[in-house]
Amino acid sequence: MEWETVIGLEIHAQLNTVSKIFSGAPTAYGAEPNRQACPVDLGMPGVLPVLNKGAVERAVMLGLAINAEITPRSVFARKNYFYPDLPKGYQISQFELPIVGLGHLDIELEDGSIKRIGVTRAHLEEDAGKSLHEGFEAMTGIDLNRAGTPLIEIVSEPELRSAKEAVAYMKKLHSLVRYLDICDGNMQEGSFRCDANVSVRPKDQAEFGTRAELKNLNSFRFVERAINFEVERQIDLIEGGGSVVQETRLYDPDRDETRSMRSKEEANDYRYFPDPDLLPLVVDSAFIETVREKLPELPDAKRARFVEQYGLSDYDAGVLTATREMGDFYEAVAAGCDAPKLAANWVMGEFSAALNRSEVELGEAPVNAEGLAGLIARIQDETISGKIAKEVFEAMWNGEGDADVVIEAKGLKQITDTGAIDTIIDEVMANNPQQLEQYRSGKDKLFGFFVGQVMKATQGKANPAQVNERLKAKLDS
Amino acid sequence: MAQETLSGWVRKLQAREVSSRELTQLYLDRIERLDPQLNSFITVTAEQALAQADAADARLAKGEQSPLLGVPIAQKDIFCTEGVRTSCGSRMLDPFVSPYNATVVERMSADGAVMLGKTNMDEFAMGSSNETSFFGPVRNPWDTERVPGGSSGGSAAAVGARLVPGATGTDTGGSIRQPAAFCGITGLKPTYGRVSRYGMIAFASSLDQGGPMAATAEDCGLMLNSMAGFDERDSTSVERPAEDFTAGLNQELKGLRIGLPTEFFGEAGLDERVRGVIDAAIEVLKGRGAEVREVALPNSHLSVPAYYVVAPAECSSNLARFDGVRYGYRCENPEDLMDLYTRSRGEGFGDEVKRRIMVGTYVLSAGYYDAYYLKAQKVRRIIADDFRCAFEDVDVLLAPTTPELPFALGAKADPVSMYLSDIYTIAANLAGLPAMSLPAGEIDGLPVGLQLIGNYFDEARLLGVAHQYQQETDWHARVPAAFA
């Protein structure tokens, strides 16, 4: 039987506000445990939440970026459950009326076609603290620094049909939140997290199969592997005569498998009700317009502009706009060298390869946009060849100075003086009489030998086109 | 000398006829001598009070005229006080010392009030007799075999016995007004949102409101001037221009339209003698020019049932934070997390609190939410609409505060009969309206309270009506003989 996979993603993105969603405590990552938790975050008796306007602004930004309806009057609710890292015994979240309603996101499939994925909703909520299980001798430590960090939970429609589509959607959203500068996107620190609802059904069946919710998918790779594992597990189960039960499953990256965490019967009854400590959140059109004015150029628009403005291929434009930083970097390089296509090749080629090799982020690269533009300008004005440029780039990456400094220090300037080239050719011809004779007696293939000798004598600095032209003239005369 | 009212002391302090230290010492002595009969204080902060008194005297010496400067007061033990135990009447918070001050505490302290201590209360403000306190029941100063009412029973008894000139209370379903009535004092529950709830330990967040309790309406006005005001730390606090709640005290009653809600007089259970006292009070107000007419609040019979859905629902969630993990009571040697939760909460909470947590958890559960919680919220709206209609025709509503006289300790073992003690007070909380109780008579040596309910933000008018009444009567000035 042929099976179809149905996936919906719930993505939690931490919003990069300075202070927490309901208190004035700072949100910075990595402080000593419990140093960034004020009485409100600690759930002290008598404390009350006050909504952070910055979190609302960021949520509205996301809503506008995915063409969603912004709910004029949304409501914060309490999600009640007991857990030691949940200080109040409830999480303040949005339930029936989320701030962001129905929207959509376009993803690119492997065949290059575009698929529109519906976003059901996005709502604001507070993060919980962390339970620390190591170093407490069979006890558990609680760190409430993260408690109260603003989150936006973005829920997709069950419209993703493969692990690859799920990853494409997740990457697109990841790029978007960073473009909007509402989330730092750091998946290792948990700033961008994903749960996946996965089910399978016979290809021609309209109803959805029973789904499992996969947790702990904190990298793109894990999302893909966990979904693939889970799809196979469900198909094997059904084909073996069994049936899928609705449950929450935890992905274990070490063993590359999903394991049951709790079934539907064991699931919490969260007893949601509107939080009486917070008034309904009213977002009027004036507020929405002020947020709209702050929206940066979004990835799809930037990609189209790159094709238009710089004459790049759609593919190259897509690569260069994958992150806001990369797009900005490319534009700075292009502006600095007036050779947009060459700039694109360099940014995507040597430069990206060097980033990967050195495992550094764009912002920490030893060669900045201005430096790279300077190098490309030297190729453009024929001071150096493209081949020599790679050598110069290596030196620049190793901190030996900008392009001109390296070219000067290493004497890499291209030889374009016809007289100088002629002199070298004459020397090569004089030093290789045997080959010269063979060539002249009809062994044309030896032309390459002479080119090699000339380039060797100039350490590759001679302008290759000129070498060809002059050599041909002299050999054939 | 202790019979002087809070506003009387304010005048004497400002005139430098008495020092704050003398006054503070006077009341600390009374507490030490007389409170063993009442148990109205959980914590007395004598040393801190004298230090505050000295600071107030220094400010007075400079000619400062802050309204409560140097006046001794007490805080209900539901308000968080930095560095001082804040128990909320519960074993759960018996060991809890708050790291911060409630806004009310902060405001009163900034105005120079001297805190003598923290008053006893029903556990987490859940009760109408002060018998649910972990620290033992409070006794009524008019008859120590009777209850002082609740949940602000400690504040009411302390003011009634003049162990302190004024105290704070909180009112979720009548917890200021009913004990004020039982102890023969004046108490005001302001409009929801008037007084910040920040640092006031939550029972039912959409109903809770702090307010003043003192001998007279004027005292309450002075206290409210300090307590009320917008607080950016409380999202439900209302932003309005500052108001002087004593400004309307001398407003004549001529032309004032008073409404008598038929339903508050006709219901079975209203003690005929209480009704007689209320009728006499109406005559006094009429004599000063007020016009009286009957009005209908046709859905008021739904108040108690709606309240006992909404309040437990909110309390079940509000009290979830008391889990033995971060502060407060923790059971001995927990075996695992579930054991820590169940025993800490099982041992830390009393029966009435547990009862309400269970009811609240039930009404919020999947499958029951619509039938109970949502329905109760709709009832709230209907009740508020009834009041809105009534206030189209009248300026204030007048009714008994309680259907009966202070009852004997232990007399109401059945929770529902206890709940019915608040039958006349709950509606104002559901609608968020200001309401007050003032002493209007005595039966068999026990005080009777008269309730006034006002339109939103109409506290100044309520206090004015009460003050006018107190110009012609002396019920508010009476002190139980044993404490005179």
Domain with residue B129: its CATH number is: 3.90.1300.10
Asked if B99 and A39 come within 8 Å (Cβ–Cβ), the reply is: yes
Compare all CA atoms of chain A with the CA of B124 and give the residue at the minimum distance.
Answer: A45
User: Concatenated DSSP letters for B36-100?
Assistant: HHH--EEEE-HHHHHHHHHHHHHHHHTT---TTTT-EEEEETTB--TTSB--TTSSTTTT-B-SS
Q: In chain A, how many domains are there?
A: 3
Distance between CA atoms of B38 and B145, rounded to whole angstroms? 10
- Check which CATH number belongs to the domain holding A468 and give it: 1.10.10.410
Residue in A95, A72, A73, A151 with CA at minimum distance from that of residue A273: A95
Instruction: Calculate how close chain A gets to B242, using CA atoms only, in Å.
Output: 22
- My answer on whether A238 and A321 are in the same domain is no
- My answer on whether A146 and A197 are in the same domain is yes
Does B39 reside within a domain? yes
The answer on pLDDT for A18 being more than 80 is yes
pLDDT tens digits, A191-244: 999 999 999 999 999 999 999 999 978 899 999 999 999 999 999 999 999 999
Compare all CA atoms of chain B with the CA of A91 and give the residue at the minimum distance.
Answer: B317
Chain A neighbors of B325, CB-CB under 8 A: 84, 87, 142
Whole-number pLDDT of residue A474: 84
The answer on pLDDT for A257 being more than 80 is yes
Percent of chain A with pLDDT over 70: 100
Does B60 reside within a domain? yes
Whole-number pLDDT of residue B267: 62
Full domain range(s) for residue B87: 6-256+394-483
Q: Which of residues A369, A392, A410 is at a domain's end?
A: A410
Compare all CA atoms of chain B with the CA of A84 and give the residue at the minimum distance.
Answer: B325
- My answer on whether A177 and A50 are in the same domain is yes
User: Could you tell me the sign of the dihedral formed by the alpha carbons of A9, A14, A16, A21, in that order?
Assistant: positive
Q: Which of residues A243, A266, A290 is at a domain's end?
A: A290
**Taking residues A96-118, what's their average pLDDT?**
95
Query: Helices B6-14 and B20-38, interaxial angle, to 10°?
Result: 160
The SS3 of residue B453 is strand
Whole-number pLDDT of residue A446: 85
Whole-number pLDDT of residue A450: 87
Q: Determine contact, residues B283/B372, Cβ cutoff 8 Å.
A: no
B326 closest CB neighbour out of A48, A87, A277: A87
Instruction: Calculate how close chain B gets to A335, using CA atoms only, in Å.
Output: 49
- My answer on whether A366 and A304 are in the same domain is yes
Whole-number pLDDT of residue B67: 86
Chain B neighbors of A46, CB-CB under 8 A: 79-80, 86, 98, 102, 197-202
Q: How far is CA A342 from CA A356, A380, A384, A402, A463, in A?
A: 20, 9, 14, 18, 19
Chain B neighbors of A88, CB-CB under 8 A: 320-321
Does B410 reside within a domain? yes
**Taking residues A316-329, what's their average pLDDT?**
92
B76 assigned to active site? yes
Chain B neighbors of A82, CB-CB under 8 A: 320, 323, 341
| Range ranked top by mean pLDDT from A24-33, A41-50, A420-429 | A41-50
B365 contact A CB<8A: yes
Residue of higher predicted confidence among B105 and A416: B105
Asked if A276 and B206 come within 8 Å (Cβ–Cβ), the reply is: yes
Asked if A271 and B317 come within 8 Å (Cβ–Cβ), the reply is: yes
Asked if B197 and A42 come within 8 Å (Cβ–Cβ), the reply is: no
Identify the segments of chain B with pLDDT beneath 50.
none
Asked if A46 and B320 come within 8 Å (Cβ–Cβ), the reply is: no
- Residues 38-67 of chain A whose Cβ lies under 8 A from any Cβ of chain B: 39, 42-51
Long-range contacts of B221-224 (CB under 8 A, 24+ apart): B221/B245, B221/B246, B221/B249, B221/B460, B221/B463, B221/B467, B222/B6, B222/B7, B222/B10, B222/B67, B222/B68, B222/B246, B223/B6, B223/B68, B223/B73, B223/B108, B223/B166, B223/B168, B224/B188, B224/B190, B224/B194, B224/B195, B224/B459, B224/B463
Does B127 reside within a domain? yes
- My answer on whether A147 and A51 are in the same domain is yes
- Residues 169-198 of chain B whose Cβ lies under 8 A from any Cβ of chain A: 197-198
Does B447 reside within a domain? yes
Catalytic residue among B98, B151, B303, B316: B151
Q: Determine contact, residues A59/A69, Cβ cutoff 8 Å.
A: no
Instruction: Calculate how close chain A gets to B452, using CA atoms only, in Å.
Output: 26
Chain A neighbors of B197, CB-CB under 8 A: 46, 48
- My answer on whether A274 and A332 are in the same domain is no
Number of residues written out for chain B: 484
Whole-number pLDDT of residue B388: 98
Asked if A278 and B337 come within 8 Å (Cβ–Cβ), the reply is: no
As to burial, measured by CB atoms within 10 angstroms (0-12 exposed, 13-18 middle, 19+ buried), residue A131 is middle
Whole-number pLDDT of residue A476: 80
B412 assigned to active site? no
Does B293 reside within a domain? no
Asked if A276 and B88 come within 8 Å (Cβ–Cβ), the reply is: no
Catalytic residue among B7, B19, B76, B189: B76
- My answer on whether A67 and A35 are in the same domain is yes
Whole-number pLDDT of residue B268: 67
Whole-number pLDDT of residue A363: 86
Catalytic residue among B87, B128, B175, B196: B175
pLDDT tens digits, A52-69: 999 999 999 999 999 999
Percent of chain B with pLDDT over 90: 95
Q: In chain B, how many domains are there?
A: 1
A269 contact B CB<8A: yes
- My answer on whether A239 and A254 are in the same domain is yes
Q: Are strands A192-202 and A212-215 parallel, antiparallel or unpaired?
A: antiparallel
Structure ipTM: 0.96
The answer on pLDDT for A112 being more than 90 is no
A278 contact B CB<8A: yes
- My answer on whether A17 and A71 are in the same domain is yes
pLDDT tens digits, A130-179: 999 888 888 889 999 999 999 999 999 999 999 999 999 999 999 999 99
B233 closest CB neighbour out of A50, A78, A279: A50
Q: Two tokens at B252?
A: 């004549």
Query: Helices A418-431 and A433-440, interaxial angle, to 10°?
Result: 100
Terminal-residue alpha carbon distance, chain A: 75
Q: Determine contact, residues A148/A126, Cβ cutoff 8 Å.
A: yes
Does B374 reside within a domain? no
Full domain range(s) for residue A351: 297-410
Q: Two tokens at B445?
A: 């040596």
- Residues 309-338 of chain B whose Cβ lies under 8 A from any Cβ of chain A: 313-314, 316-317, 319-323, 325-328, 337
Q: Determine contact, residues B461/B395, Cβ cutoff 8 Å.
A: yes
- My answer on whether A74 and A170 are in the same domain is yes
H helix or E strand, kind and range, residue B274: helix B272-287
Instruction: Calculate how close chain B gets to A162, using CA atoms only, in Å.
Output: 33
B175 assigned to active site? yes
Q: Determine contact, residues A180/A61, Cβ cutoff 8 Å.
A: yes
Residue of higher predicted confidence among A271 and A473: A271
B99 closest CB neighbour out of A44, A48, A272: A44
User: Could you tell me the sign of the dihedral formed by the alpha carbons of B131, B135, B140, B144, in that order?
Assistant: positive
B80 closest CB neighbour out of A46, A80, A277: A46
* Confidence band of A437 (pLDDT split at 50, 70, 90): confident
pTM: predicted TM-score of the whole model, two decimal places: 0.90
B317 closest CB neighbour out of A39, A80, A278: A80
- My answer on whether A258 and A273 are in the same domain is yes
- My answer on whether A284 and A331 are in the same domain is no
The answer on pLDDT for A416 being more than 80 is no
Q: Which of residues A388, A410, A432 is at a domain's end?
A: A410
Distance between CA atoms of A94 and B255, rounded to whole angstroms? 49
Distance between CA atoms of A351 and B349, rounded to whole angstroms? 65
Does B229 reside within a domain? yes
pLDDT tens digits, B333-369: 999 999 999 999 999 999 999 999 999 999 999 999 9
Distance between CA atoms of B464 and B447, rounded to whole angstroms? 21
